[in-house]
Structure 1
Amino acid sequence: MEDVYRQAAEPEERLEKCVLCGRTVPVWRESHISERRYYVEGAGQLCARCFYDVYQNELAF
């Protein structure tokens, strides 16, 4: 029975977390950084909200 709970929790453990807020991001840890959205070299994976909060002035046209 314990194995069932471990398997159910496993997918979320394989997902990245935002380095700023800690939210789970729908990006597999195994995915290459070139395939990720909202990844910042030298910092790590961000969620969409934190990415736009940090870069909102640079993204303005």
Structure 2
Amino acid sequence: MRTNLTGPARDAEAARLAALYKAGDSIRGIAASSGRSYGSVRQLLLHAKCPLRPRGGTPTQRPA
């Protein structure tokens, strides 16, 4: 079971997860690999002031 992160440990974990997210990992993927919930990963990304991508993945071109 994970414990609540506070202080410098929270800042360091938020920065680590933000780097993964900025490299293209999804919040769900980060949650699965880190053993954290989707909500806790999202909160840590917001704590790191990481801009979140819009929902829905990469848009595709529709044929004209």
Q: Could you tell me the TM-score, scaled by structure 2's length?
A: 0.24
Higher fraction of strand: 1
Structure index of larger Rg: 1
Higher fraction of helix: 2
Q: Could you tell me the TM-score, scaled by structure 1's length?
A: 0.25
